[in-house]
A and B are shown apart, each in its own frame.
Chain A
Amino acid sequence: MKDLAEAALNAAQVKGAGYADVRLDEHVQQDIIVKNGQLAAVSDDASEGFGVRVLVDGAWGFAGSARLNKDEIDEVVDRAIRIARASARVRSTPVNLGSPVSSRGSYRTPLERDPFSVPLSEKVDLLLRADAAMGAVKGVGIREGSMEFLRQRKIFASTEGAFIEQELFESGAGIEATATSPDEVQNRSYPNSFGRHQGSGGYEYVTAMQLDRHGQRIGEEAVALLTAPQCPSGVKTLILDASQTALQIHESCGHPTELDRVFGMEAAYAGTSFMTPEKLNHLQYGSPKVTITADALTPTGLGTFGWDDEGVPAQQSFLIKAGLFVGYLTSRETASVLGQQSNGTMRADGWNRIPLIRMTNVNLQPGDSSLDAMIADTKDGVYMETNRSWSIDDKRLNFQFGTQLAYEIVNGKRGRLLKNATYAGITPEFWNSCDAIAGRSEWKVWGLANCGKGQPPQTAHVAHGAAPARFQHVKVGILK
């Protein structure tokens, strides 16, 4: 593999690249789905290939192929160079990567139990036990449980002398119960929605979830939601559970602080950002309780690694400090525009894609409250838990989210279960209304394995450390 990488870099330089990097990537993924008491799907997918990124005349070209041999490397390098020359005909300003990056080393995800060494029967058995727990609840119509395991071995090498080998592991699992009536479809899932809760690590990450102990509860909640009253419409105090807080961070802080979006590089697809450079160090993004970091060193985070896909070391940086907007997620190219160094967030979702600025682990720092204390201190509010739908405008200002479950809060006490709960707001107004965040004991790292960006589309696996949080004067109950 090292020989192929060197051959690609040499060829690129000989053919005129001012800079080149090559990524060789081998990816293995196992997926297991149990549905309604049956093993419904097991698949084992493998992909390998390489991608060559070159700068010629200050413009980018990239080509990738699944055929790992010397002839193909020559052809792919030729293709990348030709593409870069075509780019140079219509470029605006030449790309400046800033200071050279010559990282060397290796990294492996810390893990206790290699998920690919765990027998299939053990995994299926756990899912079936959780399925049975959901199935014991009368009225649950659809039960589904899934696991996913990933192993990625990748090499990054560049003409600046970088050479990095990484072996990354992810493990994830989740269960979901669905109940229906003539007018309703209600889902409850655990630990998170949209399939799974996922993290970097081994099978221990899955066993720690204790899926089988939560099946009955979510089944009962799904059935109870069918006859629960509708979440009332109004302006109320809103308390979010940690997982919904994580998604709120993702959509309204993670994405708008991506510097490529700010510069318009995603304008025709994912959109732009309201967090433009003149607001840096000036915008009071949130209340003083709100501090958010990008931290690729967070244990078990899906955005945890040794180096990003430009060879920049994993690191922690501040995005929001005591409510003030202080930093971006950056790449070498975008950071140099602001006279900064990259903070190491460039990741590609495979050998056949270029790296883009992606969230690492964008974490809301824990506060000094607790969920119980927040509820006790709320007169008229709603508690919402586990995301059900999410939508936000192309500048990341106007959002509307829905959750699977909600409870009314009346005079400091949790009241009735509510269905079809939604809330909406404008990003800085919302975060400035944050008056309480739970402490470290309720803080947890939530993995999101479905973050879309880029053309051709890429799916990033990112994470958010979050705890339950409270927001004032929020519009809730938007449902025609």
Chain B
Amino acid sequence: MKSMKAARLTEEAEVKDFIDRLLQASPATQTEVMVTEWDSALTRFANNGIHQNVAERDVSVRVRVVKDGKTGVASINQMNEKAAADVLKRAIAIADLQSKGEVVPMPGPAKSRPVEAWSDATAEATPEERADFVATICSKAKRAGLNAFGAYSTGAEQLAIANSLGVYHHHRSTEATINSVVMGESGSGYADRGAIDVRELDKVEIADEVIDKTQRNQNAQPVEAGVYEVVLEEYAVAEMLEFMSYTGFSALAVEEDRSFMRLGERITGDQVTIWDDGLDASGLPTPFDFEGVPKQHVNLIKNGVAAGVVYDMMTATTEGRQSTGHGLPAPNTEGPFAVNLFMQPGSVAKPDLISGIKRGIWVTRFWYVRIVHPKLSIITGMTRDGTFLIENGKVTRPVKDLRFTQSMLEALEGTLAAGKTTKLQIGEFIGASRVPAVHLKAFTFTS
């Protein structure tokens, strides 16, 4: 394993020393320090050429202090002695200026299980390597008479969190992602990939997928709105899961009576099992959360039954239980968040998911999904980059993109089959999901 320096990150020992000195300097009753440092680059392409190409190196030092029952949080993006004094002073000043409030408890020390999420190849990826990767997609698209668009990113990050009760955790990770839309005269396709190790991204494979999808999605004709059997590709399934997590899988959402989760009750079809696991190396693992609590495996929906929700320190304390390691950075009023989602695959090969469908719709991906009714888990959005009509077990033609307005739980109630393979979908802002494609009995398209 090469040094952090190759990835332009500070050595862990130096980060720990910085944190220790900050903790020692704090006059507060309790102090928490979180350091996130990253170096990332992104190459963006449009019309078969690179049009934006960027890189950044940044750090965030976040300090939470508790003093006389009062909390202050401040952050700064410098990691030196002057910055440490400044950020501590500002956090203390905030605590001093307020009256006593609700204090989010800090966790005590607990061992987190290390999990490998680092690749030297990703950390050291060069602009030339990114350009070559993009060139392959662009040249293949051009040869096919199409235009390629997308973004290819590589990055390295380290996260360290410690508190005055003795907690110290450190984790380093890398991430590489590629997404591409390819357009023809009258239609488009989409593909994306994500991995910890950039060498797992196959430029020819992704180019072939997106170009094939584009070529099949030309001259789409409208289809009438209504309720259809559907096959949702992994891109769409992952997005649905992220919205379920956002609206329902948090203990705070349940506590505040906002969630669709009715614990112990059957809420989807019995083929559906969804869990969160921050330690599973086939996802995007992180061994601890942003409060310094080790991650636990949490069953969310098991065989269709609402099995559990995720906790942070505040919600766990309220209910007199342990945090599951799903806290967000302080100050946080949004509650815990499940960010390492998995959906159990089935036994059907993905291409065979359509075999029993008389008339249905194949959805590549969703677009601009928003919540219409959180408690009924209703979302709306559009299909995009490859929507096809299925007739008598075969994809027969592309159709114009459709708007859907659909309860996620009702859709999953009609789960008829799931693909036997899964795909890792890295979230736009945080976390990732590993999901199969699914065949659902009914999905409502409204226009």
Contact = CB atoms under 8 A, between A and B. Distances in A.
22 contacts: A35-B333, A38-B102, A42-B71, A42-B73, A43-B74, A44-B90, A60-B52, A66-B59, A67-B57, A80-B55, A86-B43, A90-B135, A92-B51, A142-B256, A180-B258, A267-B181, A353-B54, A456-B42, A456-B153, A457-B429, A479-B373, A479-B378
Contact of A389 (B53, B76, B179, B371): B371
A129 B90 CA distance: 26
Interface residues of B, number: 88
A144 interface: yes
Given A93-B49, A398-B382, 4 more contacts: A43-B74, A86-B131, A389-B372, A480-B378
A183 interface: yes
A478 interface: yes
B75 A478 contact: no
A120 B99 CA distance: 11
A245 B57 CA distance: 40
B141 to A, nearest CB: 12
A424 B401 CA distance: 15
Contacts of B138: 90
B45 interface: yes
Interface string B59-79: 100000000000111111110
Given A86-B131, A402-B372, A66 B57 contact: yes
A391 B91 CA distance: 39
B320 interface: no
Contacts of B147: 264
A408 interface: no
A394 B366 CA distance: 11
Given A41-B73, A268-B179, A180 B331 contact: no
B351 interface: no
B50 interface: yes
Contact of A83 (B41, B330, B333, B444): B41
Given A64-B56, A83-B53, A86-B127, A46 B77 contact: yes
B183 interface: yes
A38 B333 CA distance: 11
A400 interface: yes
B151 interface: yes
Contacts of A59: 50, 53
Contacts of A79: 55
Contact of A45 (B75, B101, B180, B381): B75
A354 B47 contact: no
A90 B368 contact: no
A121 interface: yes
B331 A185 contact: no
Interface string B234-277: 00000000000000000000001110000000000000000000
Interface string B77-105: 11000000011001100100111011000
Contacts of B382: 391-394, 398
Contacts of A268: 44, 46, 149-151, 179-181
B127 A82 contact: yes
B447 interface: yes
Contacts of A99: none
B131, B256, B429: residue with the most chain A Cβ atoms closer than 10 Å: B131
B369 interface: yes
Contacts of B40: 456
A152 to B, nearest CB: 14
A438 to B, nearest CB: 27
A65 B58 contact: yes
B78 A264 contact: no
Interface string A426-469: 00000000000000000000000000000111000000000000
Nearest to B210: A268
Nearest to A475: B447
Given A49-B77, A90-B131, A390 B54 contact: no
A15 B25 CA distance: 44
A178 interface: yes
Interface string A20-45: 00000000000101010011111111
Interface string A376-391: 0000000000000111
B169 interface: no
Contacts of A47: 58, 76-77
A180 B256 contact: yes
B256 A267 contact: no
B382 to A, nearest CB: 5
Contacts of B101: 38-40
Given A65-B58, A83-B54, A86-B53, A43 B331 contact: yes
B50 A91 contact: yes
Contacts of B57: 64-67
A87 B128 CA distance: 8
A206 interface: no
Nearest to B192: A268
Nearest to A456: B42
Nearest to B138: A90
Interface in B347-386: 367-376, 378, 380-382, 384
A419 B14 CA distance: 56
Interface string B382-424: 1010000000000000000101011100100000000000000
A480 B404 CA distance: 9
Contact of A264 (B47, B127, B256, B372): B47
B65 to A, nearest CB: 11
Contacts of A480: 378, 405-407, 410, 444, 446
Contact of B375 (A66, A84, A184, A354): A184
B295 interface: no
Contact of B49 (A42, A90, A420): A90
A352 interface: yes
Interface string A44-69: 11111101000000011111111100
B55 A64 contact: yes
B130 interface: yes
A271 B45 CA distance: 13
B54 A62 contact: yes
A41 B42 CA distance: 34
B131 A178 contact: no
Contacts of A90: 45, 49-50, 131, 134-135, 138
B53 A87 contact: yes
A263 interface: yes
A67 B8 CA distance: 12
Nearest to B368: A391
Contact of B370 (A49, A66, A120, A390): A390
B428 interface: yes
Given A86-B127, A90-B131, A456-B42, A391 B370 contact: yes
A16 to B, nearest CB: 15
Contacts of B153: 455-456
Contacts of B330: 41, 43
A183 B349 CA distance: 38
Enumerate the 3 nearest inter-chain pairs by beta-carbon distance, A residue then B residue, closest first.
A92-B49, A41-B331, A86-B127
A422 interface: yes
Contact of B46 (A119, A120, A121, A267): A267
A49 B58 contact: yes
B332 interface: yes
B42, B55, B332: residue with the most chain A Cβ atoms closer than 10 Å: B55
A461 B50 CA distance: 27
A69 to B, nearest CB: 11
Interface in B181-196: 181, 183
B378 A39 contact: no
B98 A121 contact: yes
